[in-house]
Structure 1
């Protein structure tokens, strides 16, 4: 069967229309459901946050009910996936599964495992007597950052425990803040990768926060800024270059069918002449570089934008100091020093690390416990991406494939660690730059060799059809140069405008994404 020339010219528009029509047909037939707020978020956010907002340290029967709450959360989130929750917006469609899986894991950890009302505490400011020296005193403030230096003399940071005696709204705000602090910056649950002060022995004693030895750069290479000027300049520069990269990626990568319907079992299309002329290994490397660059720059663009906007909102208040906004990714040093283990455990953004490691946090330190923690983290990461594949609009995804990718990453970490241990003597005899280069080559080679298990399925899920930036500077330039066939420069269409959805039942109605 021949393929119409118009389809070959504009595969992205063809498959965008095709997938959206398929979703609308499934919605009309009752086999799909839109992403609706609050219904879709009941198990992921609403139920765990409300439960944790009820004091239970002195009510053992409420605390004992935590596993029933976790079971109800899981049931609601499973229903989100089983009911075919999706969206005409391909990013929202994929996120529906991610939210269901992460909400079950994160909410389950906070509700069932982490005893947040006993051990949880966040950094807050309490007012002191003007003229006295607290943690905002000059000796500490200058070392920490500008936000601390601007505090009123006498005010100090302290650890605020769960406000058990406060109002419901005070408890709700505390829990919501914790629930949205995935890396735990400014909390007793902060992950070890980011710069953080020492944890208090008991947050209920409202101890002062010791900021005297707060590192500027953590061991994993996450750094914090000392002035607002440097922070804003850094975030704006990151947003600018990642925006341009994503725009260029969107404009060029979609000429390759690999990034549109994806590889088989998705439909196949002939390659453009330029790509068809490339040797297969070079084309494969190009696809790895583009897809990896697209993922990293998208994370940098959105997370840096979130940090920038959040700090702007809290610029006049001391409750969100600069040191609570460390960099999104770590440095390359862990990759060069520890290889694949350093890539995932140091360089990568670590947003979900706390949720991935909490289930095994009670294990006593040992080599088997470390291996089990690593395996659990990779399996849970695979589960998140699997649920994204399940809620994607296209039906050609292979949901088990992402789990295999992360299992292969686990195998790669164990293999490289074992090889380095076995060859410790010869490796120590080499110059440092040689074995560090070897670690980097191993990481890049392993990720490239296993790309098919994750990136191929992301392509099948239609993620590359998603418009990552609202408007395209490159299309404005090309249009000005006379390329009339270039698409419009305003990229976000009506699919980005939330609307009201009337469900079959009143509780299924809400804001549709």
Structure 2
């Protein structure tokens, strides 16, 4: 059984590679070159480097349109196998459009944004000169003592080019803004020196030390690595995850079809768990790499950048506390527990759209909340639906992936309405529900709603062959089974040249 499953998996991988090359040869798809993928990243940096008061006011709209054109061309024609069978290409391109508009159109970064940087200051003190423990002949004469101290300060948009380059690159790459003034609320509190007005009233626990944060990151990485290795094995055994949606699960799950709906629940749970650990695996690399290296080599870190990379408050966990699901239900699951990488881009887009409404509507709190919620899930659906579209397979970007995300605000509304009705009714009869019962109800609804809607995105993942991706360089389980220890066996890049300027460069395979 195991040999057949691995042979089937390797055959599907090979067939997908052949399918991509045939699509390119027939002109139905084009290869993606490395500089194509980097261009949407570089263009906003160039636009932000030019101050608005000079030519920035003209350059930024032009480069925004150029970024849009390049991204749409990539989404429409360019295909790769890397990144979950091309899924990440579509997702990243749509997100980068949103992020570019956030920085170039929806906000005035020169006027409103500040960055936390490390700076050195010199203090001069007095010291009495003493000899052998006694005051010298000129014991009242003071000698100046110069001390270099390192502090953190808020730095606005720099006026000189070289500091501006570092400031802009840090801005473009910091989507949660841990070292910027737009930092999202779920991050760790700032040091009191930087945020004195909120320090006394802060309700968050103190930020862990660098050692504790690194230890936690390594633990998350290790657990995620083992979990992905195990889940990948389950996925290889089950043909469902490669597009055979009607195929029954393998042993020991072959009894599930006897219970209606259980197979769908099983596939949704495996898919959701795999996505969760994949995110934990990737995001744990940020503190491991940056915090670990800057702590090990502090002098090199200070020489390379003014960002305080060794500050542990820069590396807040990507996922919030699970108590958010217990206390706030589906709304808490998405807004507090699940990762908030894209939060500022979503909120900025929402606020910009709200600013276009008449004041009678834009000032209404309920309308603002509804718009922010719909925009956030709408953009999420568009991003992930675009990822579905750029995969090589028979996917359903709209009716599958997009609809999954757009159904989440429906579930939030249903749960909020039901909670108000039930709690009000019980309280009216002198039976206010205890906390444990409210939490049980929240968790039950969240699990039920996610399983009810989850098959849409899980089936689309399977149809798009997302699970062909190999996130781990080495597999402990497959090595012990004699299937080889190394997972990354094929190259990721090759030189490509179709005779044109746009078609010449390093191809992403």
Q: Alpha carbons of 1:323 and 1:10: their partners in 2 closer, same or farther (altered >3 Å)?
A: same
Choose 122-131 or 372-381, whichever is displaced more.
Answer: 122-131
Cα distance between partner residues in 2 of 1:307 and 1:365: 41
Structure (1 or 2) with the greater strand fraction? 2
Change (3 A) 1:218 1:441: farther
Structure 2 CA distance for aligned equivalents of residues 128 and 51 of structure 1:
32
1:331 aligned partner: 321
Deviations 1:5-57 (A, max 9, x none): 99766332222111111001112223222232212332x2121111111111x
Provide the C-alpha distance between the structure 1 equivalents of 2:199 and 2:460, rounded to a whole number of angstroms. 41
Alignment of 1:95-494 (within 5 A): 95-130=88-123, 154-163=149-158, 165-167=159-161, 169-197=162-190, 209-210=194-195, 225-263=207-245, 268-269=246-247, 271-278=249-256, 279-315=259-295, 316=298, 317=302, 319-320=308-309, 321-362=311-352, 363=354, 364=363, 366-426=365-425, 429-479=432-482, 487-494=483-490
Is the Cα contact below 8 Å between 1:394 and 1:460 reproduced in 2? yes
Structure 1 residue 424 displacement after superposition? 3.2
**Is residue 42 of structure 2 the alignment partner of residue 46 of structure 1?**
yes
For residues 468-496 of structure 1, give each alpha carbon's deviation from its aligned partner in whole angstroms, at most 9, with x where no partner exists. Answer: 211011223333xxxxxxx211111124x
- When normalised by structure 2's length, the TM-score is 0.84
SS at match of 1:157: strand
Greater mean deviation of Cα atoms: 237-246 or 503-512: 503-512
The superposition leaves residues 428-463 of structure 1 with CA deviations (integer Å, 9 ceiling, x where unpaired) of 601101111110110011000001221211111111
Report the count of equivalent residues.
461
> Matched residues in 1 for 2:216 and 2:113: separation?
31
**Aligned counterpart in structure 2 of residue 27 of structure 1, from 24, 27, 30:** 24
Distance (Å, rounded) in 1 between the aligned partners of 2:416 and 2:426: 13
SS in 1 for 2:273: helix
Any conservation in 2 of the 1:501–1:512 contact (CA below 8 Å)? yes
Cα distance in 2 for partners of 1:273, 1:289 equals 17
Change (3 A) 1:9 1:307: closer
For the residue of structure 1 that corresponds to 2:121, the secondary structure is coil
1:426 deviates by: 4.1
Provide the rounded CA distance (Å) in 2 between the counterparts of 1:234 and 1:258.
34
1:140 corresponds to: none
Secondary structure (helix, strand or coil) at the match of 1:351 reads coil
Residue matched to 2:139 = none
2:15 is aligned to: 18
Q: In 1, Cα distance between the equivalents of 2:201 and 2:394?
A: 47
DSSP-derived class of the 2:261 partner:
helix
- Structure 2 CA distance for aligned equivalents of residues 444 and 217 of structure 1: 32
> Which 5+ residue runs of structure 1 have no aligned equivalent?
133-151, 200-207, 480-486
* Cα distance between partner residues in 2 of 1:506 and 1:215: 59
Structure 1 SS opposite 2:170: helix
Corresponding residue for residue 504 of structure 2:
509
Q: Who wins on radius of gyration, i.e. which is larger?
A: 2
Deviates more, 1:234-243 or 1:90-99: 90-99
Q: Quick one: structure 1 residues 500 and 312, their matched pair in 2 at CA, closer, same or farther if it must change by over 3 Å?
A: farther
Distance 1:440 1:291 in 2: 19
Kept after mapping to 2: 8 A contact 1:49/1:176: yes
Distance in 2 separating the partners of 1:51 and 1:285: 47
Q: Distance in 1 between matches of 2:203 and 2:496?
A: 46
Match of 2:70? Answer: 76
More off after superposition, 186-195 vs 347-356: 186-195
Are the equivalent residues in 1 in contact too, given 2:228–2:278 (CA < 8 A)?
A: yes
**What is the root-mean-square deviation of aligned Cα atoms in Å?**
2.6
Q: Which moved more, 1:502-511 or 1:402-411?
A: 502-511
Q: Say if 1:216 and 1:225, in contact at 8 Å, map to a contact too.
A: no
SS of the equivalent of 1:35 reads strand
SS in 1 for 2:61: helix
- Residue 228 of structure 1 and its aligned partner are, at CA, apart by 2.1
Uncovered stretches (5+) of structure 2, i.e. residues with no partner: 126-146, 355-362
Distance 2:364 2:326 in 1: 25
Contact 1:216 1:224 in 2 (8 A): no
